[in-house]
Amino acid sequence: AGMGRTVVELFYDVISPYSWLAFEALCRYRHIWNIDLRFRPAFLGGIMQQTGNKPPAMLPKRGEYLLKDMKRMAKYYQVPLRMSADAFQHIMRTNSLTAMRFITAIDMTNPQYLEPLSREFWMRFWSQHEDISQPENILAVARQAGLSAELSQKALEMITSATVKDRLKETTAEALKYGAFGMPAVVAHYDGEPHLFFGSDRLELLGNFIGE
């Protein structure tokens, strides 16, 4: 980190649409604010399970609101996120574990691709409503993000390894340690303490808190 830069960690999972909004907004702000932004791919399923949290759409009224909220947020943040009418079934049917392990493998071997790769996963799932759980789709996402076939293949082989599985578990456990109960979990390290901000709509509070 540069002199006096505030380290800001973003714990995210590509299955989470609010994580995409926070990701894009923080990517814009890191050029304006004095922050050292760190992407921390974690597993939302693990966080939900450990904290006893339930997907917001389990409550029908909340689900109804969420569809409208997403539409407004996508427009406000200018992110091509499109909620389909069956978005929740889409989420419920998809397990992001393989995708997040793949992203973790790339983070461990070629971190320069972490940002474009994560973005392409969101694009495919939330903009094109395509599957992100099957190996061939994961490879298509990687190709789209500019990774060579060789690199993608290597990362795909790594997802079954203990090193990658453990790294994803550790990152998820770290998010939990900071008090995360969902995604995105943004942790600002300020004045020697970690401070958790939940959701994509707390960025003005985050900025104010770190003196931006």
Domain coordinates in residue numbering, the chain: 7-207
pTM of the entire structure? 0.95
Taking the CA atoms of residue 138, residue 88, residue 11 and residue 136 in that order, the dihedral angle to the nearest 10 degrees is 0
Token pair recorded at residue 66: 């969420």
Q: Would you state the pLDDT for residue 3?
A: 62
**Residues contacting 101, CB < 8 A, separation 6+:** 158, 159, 164, 165, 168
**Residue 69 backbone dihedrals phi, psi, to 5 degrees:** -60, -45
Q: Would you state the pLDDT for residue 2?
A: 52
Contact (Cβ atoms closer than 8 angstroms) between residue 180 and residue 196: yes
For the annotated catalytic residues, the residue numbers are 16
pLDDT band for position 91 (50/70/90)? confident
Q: Would you state the pLDDT for residue 209?
A: 96
Q: For residue range 154-212, what is the model confidence (pLDDT) as tens digits?
A: 999 999 999 999 999 999 999 999 999 999 999 999 999 999 999 999 999 999 999 99
Task: Please tell me the CATH superfamily of domain 7-207, with its number.
Answer: Glutaredoxin (3.40.30.10)
Q: For residue range 132-142, what is the model confidence (pLDDT) as tens digits?
A: 999 999 999 99
Residue 38 three-state SS? strand
